[in-house]
Amino acid sequence: MRDYLNSSESLQLVAFLKTIETSKEFINGKLMTNEEKTNLKKAMTWLDKSISSVTTRLNEKAKKAFDKSKSGVSFYLGSNIEIEVYRKRRSADIDAAYEENKEYFKLIELIMHYNCQNCKMDCHECLFYSEFEKNYIPEFTGKEPNCKYAYRTIDLKGNSKEKK
């Protein structure tokens, strides 16, 4: 079993935690019968046990990164139209941030290209992994079992930067 989370897994765990919080508020309402409340409480308990099991297995750096990431997250439920508008706005913000910090991102891309591409090193032995985690650097694919930043040359084939 891996002892780190990729970005998607981290967000999914945070969503589960937020679901538990929302469920606690929902139980206090007058909509549910006692049996329905009991069933929801049982589901919350099992979900919490699963989350705890995963998070206790994480390495120290991954735990710290997960704890930091969950502190500033909001859980929002919206329509597909609202989500699409948000994505477009967010994409524009990311593009603007990239333009402002182009040199920094180019440096990260070079580091990943020369150190993470086809890397077989365990993440616990890698200094880049530690620094990337501290600085919330997103992983390229997160599919390699040794490290979430490791990727194979073959994974580049569908990448938009390779098409340019």
Confidence of residue 136 (pLDDT cuts 50, 70, 90): confident
Other residues' Cβ atoms within 10 Å of the Cβ of residue 84: 11
Confidence of residue 142 (pLDDT cuts 50, 70, 90): low
Assess whether 159 and 110 both reside in one domain: yes
Assess whether 42 and 85 both reside in one domain: no
Assess whether 154 and 73 both reside in one domain: no
pTM for the model: 0.59
Domain hosting residue 13, numbered range:
1-77
Q: Where are the alpha helices (DSSP H) in 3-101?
A: 7-27, 34-57, 60-71, 80-100
What distances in angstroms separate CA 26 from CA 33, 48, 81, 116, 118, one per listed residue? 12, 17, 26, 45, 48
Assess whether 84 and 71 both reside in one domain: no
How much is the average pLDDT of 80-109?
A: 87
Instruction: Out of 57, 77, 97, pick the residue that ends a domain.
Output: 77
Assess whether 96 and 73 both reside in one domain: no
Instruction: Out of 29, 57, 77, pick the residue that ends a domain.
Output: 77
Name the β-bridge partners of 117: 151
Assess whether 52 and 103 both reside in one domain: no
Assess whether 67 and 51 both reside in one domain: yes
Number of domains in the chain: 2
Assess whether 115 and 156 both reside in one domain: yes
Confidence of residue 157 (pLDDT cuts 50, 70, 90): low
Assess whether 84 and 160 both reside in one domain: yes
Instruction: Out of 58, 77, 96, pick the residue that ends a domain.
Output: 77
Is a pLDDT exceeding 90 seen at residue 105?
no
Interatomic CA distance for residues 25 and 19, integer angstroms:
10
Assess whether 73 and 88 both reside in one domain: no
Assess whether 90 and 115 both reside in one domain: yes
Segment 3-37, tens digit of pLDDT? 888 888 888 999 999 899 889 888 988 889 999 99
Assess whether 61 and 101 both reside in one domain: no
The confidence score (pLDDT) of residue 110 equals: 92
